[in-house]
């Protein structure tokens, strides 16, 4: 009888990929999930006889070893200690059906599968091929297991989404194309791990630790920003984006990841927080970690771990960039879903991961995973980076008046509840906003919230003694102010129009008061970076007992036009002073609306059939707009992205542009568009399209 030989290997690609929920990936590779079996057919020159054995060797990484669990040797005839298994399902004539499976805690990544045939005293070796192993949220034994079908569909399989932006009094949203199934995105996601500092320092340990979603998530949080490690995106909050792309113009992660690879893995310019978060979300979902994008409004950036942020103004009402603390109008991060055996079962579930480079952690710009449950309970001493994230949603905001002449500063007020508002994410299965603030903290002002805050402080400063009537409750050195102030919007907030507001002052006492008011308006970037002063005014206002008066604020388009950034944000501040009393600081950030960009589908959308889409835009200005570009993308709707140069528009002129897309997959898909020109750097639109087979 001749020696047994393998003549053909059938990986049964489509059946296995469907069973492993990897059939949507456009890659032609064999992609499976850990812990799930897959069947392959080996066609031989004859039957497998007793006494003959098949030994499989699965290995990953540059120096695979059984001790590091990056190599497994397992045979059809006996159970392996590695947790990998091979079972002979059928032995008909000359074809063998073998079921293989990895353990539920195997390292993820690229594997090579080899076979050793023991037949008649000879051992023959054969390379069967390569495959990709991913996390498995469908399997209870996997650390990333998610039991709810609808949530799994949203947080693992959905390839488009919504990211919330804006401010507490004007929550906006942008569509984002995650595109984890698009061509090359899986291989780029895996190459991110191979370019990390950890892999470069110690590849053997790094690959072995890829069995742990905590570890993979932390490495990715470092690698999505370009600091330290030539990661994917370079951050820029200056308002000047020459040499790169204005962060507001991106429509999704796919173009960013492809550009990073194409440039020889140099950081893509430029990103801001939602760009880092959208891209990290793509990579997490791609690798099989359930994930979602979270927006925190009035997000504190506390640089000195004291759970408070200091904000400065001068006497003229100018906001000052003093100190390193700041409050961002919004900040966007991610949550990944997995267990925390290092902390205990009460810390399982959603974990914060933040790829925006804000503070170093263990010497590198990385952040998380931090258990959301742990943040809610003030466990700031637990891994990883709990203090920073706890402060983002809970810090006290202290306002100081800074004397620019002598350098003295005076505490003006302390606000314990403006930070960490409307924490938001896209709801499961719909485009509505889900508020998750209650997952991060107890109700503002409740006994539990106070106790958690004290617990957190006591962990940070173990020797401090706490007085329940401490500074947190007794702000301001000079007693209660006798007046109050607030800004009210009195007109339409739109780019190209005058910004019309009023400062409303009220006398809270039975005595007559004279108030001197200094007001300024600055254009800003959403994280508070000051761009340019665009308006200022001073007034002296007399208030009769309990009288309320309005002081108008009018800022013309010609005053702010040249200095408005794509954020469309203007910060208006008033410092109101009554003699011998503390100043009252009134601040309001307003967001101006862009003109509407409309998308509409002109045909019924079918797979592999061309579909016409129309864009409508009207120039609202009394001047022409030029350098107009429309960028469109949408996973499952078109390959790559479309870039269309749009002719310049005369004042008040309407533009109508038609373009063609060719859907590649059926189902509900999302088309996202960005229209940019010299006067409007980033106008966004999104459109849901139902594609039929």
Q: Is-catalytic flag, 453?
A: no
> Which 3 state secondary structure label does DSSP give 493?
coil
Helices and strands (H, E) in the chain, number of each type: 13, 37
Torsion, Cα 305 395 176 138, to 10 degrees, reads 80
B/e letters for 576-600, b = 16+ CB within 10 Å, e = fewer, are bbbeebbbbbbbbbbbbebbebebe
**What does the DSSP 8-state code read for residue 563?**
G
C-alpha distances out from residue 72 to 207, 255, 497, 516, 598, Å? 14, 37, 67, 78, 55
**What does the DSSP 8-state code read for residue 596?**
P
Torsion, Cα 149 151 156 162, to 10 degrees, reads 150
Among candidate residues 354, 385, 396, 589, the one labeled active-site is 354
Query: What is the widest separation between alpha-carbon atoms in the chain?
Result: 113
Nearest to 377 by CA among 391, 390, 396: 390
Residue 127 exposed, middle or buried by CB count within 10 Å (0-12, 13-18, 19+): exposed
**What does the DSSP 8-state code read for residue 247?**
G
Site of tokens 């604020």:
553
Q: For 399, phi and psi rounded to 5 degrees?
A: -100, 130
User: Could you give the CA distance from residue 64 to residue 82 in angstroms, rounded to a whole number?
Assistant: 13
User: Could you give the CA distance from residue 43 to residue 191 in angstroms, rounded to a whole number?
Assistant: 33
C-alpha distances out from residue 3 to 91, 100, 131, 456, 594, Å? 16, 24, 28, 70, 75
Site of tokens 């983002």:
392
Nearest to 108 by CA among 63, 69, 56, 140: 69
Measured between alpha carbons, how far apart are the two ends of the chain, in Å? 52
Pairing mode of beta strands 421-426, 433-435:
antiparallel
Q: Is-catalytic flag, 331?
A: yes
Residue 603 exposed, middle or buried by CB count within 10 Å (0-12, 13-18, 19+): exposed
CB 623 within 8 A of CB 648: no
Structure tokens at 169: 């009094």
Among candidate residues 331, 367, 379, 453, the one labeled active-site is 331
Nearest to 76 by CA among 105, 96, 47: 96
Give the ranges where 9-92 is alpha helix by DSSP (H).
13-19
Q: Which residues lie across from 351 on neighbouring strands?
A: 336, 371
Listing DSSP states for 167-233 in one string gives ETTEEEEEEEE--TTSTTHHHHHHHHHHTSHHHHH-HHHHHHGGG-HHHHHHHHHHHSB-TTT--SE
Among candidate residues 20, 143, 246, 273, the one labeled active-site is 273
Q: Is-catalytic flag, 273?
A: yes
CB 434 within 8 A of CB 446: no
Judged by phi (left if over 0) then psi (alpha if -120 to 50, else beta), residue 436 lies in alpha
Residue 439 exposed, middle or buried by CB count within 10 Å (0-12, 13-18, 19+): middle
User: Could you give the CA distance from residue 633 to residue 664 in angstroms, rounded to a whole number?
Assistant: 13
Nearest to 292 by CA among 248, 351, 232: 351
B/e letters for 30-48, b = 16+ CB within 10 Å, e = fewer, are bbbbbbbbbbbbbebeeeb
Catalytic positions, please? 273, 331, 354
């Amino acid at each position: 009888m001749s020696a047994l030989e393998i003549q053909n290997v059938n990986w049964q690609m489509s059946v296995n990929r469907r069973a492993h929920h990897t059939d949507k990936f456009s890659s032609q590779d064999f992609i499976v999930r850990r812990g799930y079996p897959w069947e392959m057919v080996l066609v031989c020159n004859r039957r497998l006889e007793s006494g003959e054995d098949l030994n499989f060797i699965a290995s990953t990484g540059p120096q695979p070893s059984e001790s590091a669990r990056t190599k497994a040797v397992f045979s059809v005839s006996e159970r392996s200690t590695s947790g990998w298994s091979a079972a002979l399902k059928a032995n008909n004539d000359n074809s063998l059906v073998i079921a293989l499976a990895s353990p539920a805690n195997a390292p993820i990544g690229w594997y090579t599968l080899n076979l050793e045939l023991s037949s008649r005293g000879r051992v023959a070796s054969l390379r069967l091929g390569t495959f990709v192993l991913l996390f498995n949220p469908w399997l209870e034994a996997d650390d990333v297991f998610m039991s709810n079908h609808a949530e799994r569909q949203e947080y693992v399989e959905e390839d488009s989404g919504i990211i919330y932006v804006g401010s507490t009094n004007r929550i906006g949203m942008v569509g984002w194309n995650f595109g984890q199934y698009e061509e090359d995105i899986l291989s780029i996601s895996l190459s991110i791990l191979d370019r990390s500092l950890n892999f470069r320092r110690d590849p053997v340990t790094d690959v072995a630790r890829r069995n742990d979603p905590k570890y993979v998530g932390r490495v990715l949080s470092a690698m999505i920003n370009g600091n330290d490690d030539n990661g994917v995106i370079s951050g820029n909050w200056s308002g000047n984006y020459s040499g790169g792309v204005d962060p507001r113009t991106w429509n999704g992660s796919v173009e960013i990841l492809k550009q990073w690879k194409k440039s020889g893995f140099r950081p893509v310019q430029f990103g801001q927080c939602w760009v880092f978060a959208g891209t990290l979300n793509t990579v997490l979902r791609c690798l099989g970690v359930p994930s979602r994008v979270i927006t925190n409004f009035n997000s504190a950036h506390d640089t000195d771990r004291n759970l408070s942020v200091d904000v400065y103004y001068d006497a003229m009402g100018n906001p000052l960039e003093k100190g390193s603390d700041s409050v961002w109008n919004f900040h966007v991060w991610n949550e990944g879903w997995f267990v925390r055996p290092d902390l205990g079962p009460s810390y399982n579930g959603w974990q914060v991961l933040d790829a925006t480079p804000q503070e170093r952690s263990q010497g590198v710009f990385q952040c998380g995973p931090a258990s959301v449950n742990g943040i809610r309970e003030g466990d700031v001493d637990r891994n990883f980076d709990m203090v920073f994230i706890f402060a983002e949603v809970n810090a006290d905001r202290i306002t100081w008046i800074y004397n620019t002449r002598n350098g003295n500063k005076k505490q003006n007020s302390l606000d314990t509840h403006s930070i960490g508002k409307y924490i938001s994410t896209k709801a499961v299965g719909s485009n509505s906003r889900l508020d998750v603030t209650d997952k991060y903290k107890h109700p503002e002002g409740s006994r539990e919230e106070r106790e958690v805050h004290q617990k957190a402080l006591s962990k940070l400063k173990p020797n401090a003694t706490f007085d329940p009537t401490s500074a947190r409750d007794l702000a301001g050195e000079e007693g209660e102010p006798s007046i109050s102030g607030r800004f009210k919007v009195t007109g339409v907030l739109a780019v190209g129009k005058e910004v019309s507001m009023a400062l409303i002052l009220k006398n809270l006492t039975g005595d007559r008061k004279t108030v001197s008011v200094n007001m300024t308006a600055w254009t800003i970037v959403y994280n508070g970076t000051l761009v340019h002063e665009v308006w200022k005014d001073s007034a002296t206002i007399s208030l009769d007992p309990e009288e309320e008066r309005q002081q108008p604020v009018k800022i013309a388009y010609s005053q702010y036009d040249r200095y408005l950034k794509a954020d469309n944000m203007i910060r208006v501040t008033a410092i109101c002073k009554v003699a011998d009393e503390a100043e009252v600081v009134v601040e309001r950030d307003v967001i101006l609306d862009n003109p509407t960009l409309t998308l509409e589908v002109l045909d019924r959308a079918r797979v592999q059939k061309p579909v016409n889409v129309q864009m409508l835009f009207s120039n609202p200005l009394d001047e022409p707009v030029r350098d107009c570009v429309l960028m469109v993308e949408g996973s499952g709707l078109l390959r790559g992205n479309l870039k269309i140069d749009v002719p310049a528009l005369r004042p008040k002129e309407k533009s109508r542009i038609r373009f063609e897309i060719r859907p590649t997959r059926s189902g509900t898909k999302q088309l996202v568009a960005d229209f940019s020109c010299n006067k409007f750097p980033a106008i966004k639109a999104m459109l849901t399209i139902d594609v039929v087979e």
